[in-house]
Copies of this chain bind each other. A is one copy, B any other.
């Protein structure tokens, strides 16, 4: 990797290409990927958002996030807990009660995620119309 491509494109002028260098941060790919995949997980992001304003109980989260199955909520929360993004607090009462709360780390992650969300909202129209155009071109 990082090698320049061969000039076997014999004499094709083609458009000028900016000078290319090896990818600056390709060494961190794996670490970044692990976080991105957590963000890409739709449910994780929703959970983090729902926990913005304080701790929530299991079923409370389940009700807030419409459409999530109990299984996925469990798995999502476990993943977030494992990564140190949320804490899980058990109150040994009857019936049992479990609170989930963002850690400092989790609150930190919220910032970049929100930035992404705001970008999404700001450009959803452009994306939607781009899709429409693409699909129309391709449907025929």
Contact = CB atoms under 8 A, between A and B. Distances in A.
A60 to B, nearest CB: 6
Interface in A20-69: 20-21, 23, 25-26, 28-29, 31-37, 39-42, 45-46, 49-50, 52-57, 60, 63-67
Contacts of A116: 32, 35-36, 39, 112-113, 115-116
State the copy count for this chain. 2
B105 A66 contact: no
Nearest to A103: B130
A82 B135 CA distance: 8
Contacts of A130: 82-84, 105
Nearest to A130: B84
11 contacts: A13-B66, A14-B91, A17-B55, A25-B49, A31-B120, A33-B45, A35-B117, A36-B116, A39-B116, A83-B127, A109-B123
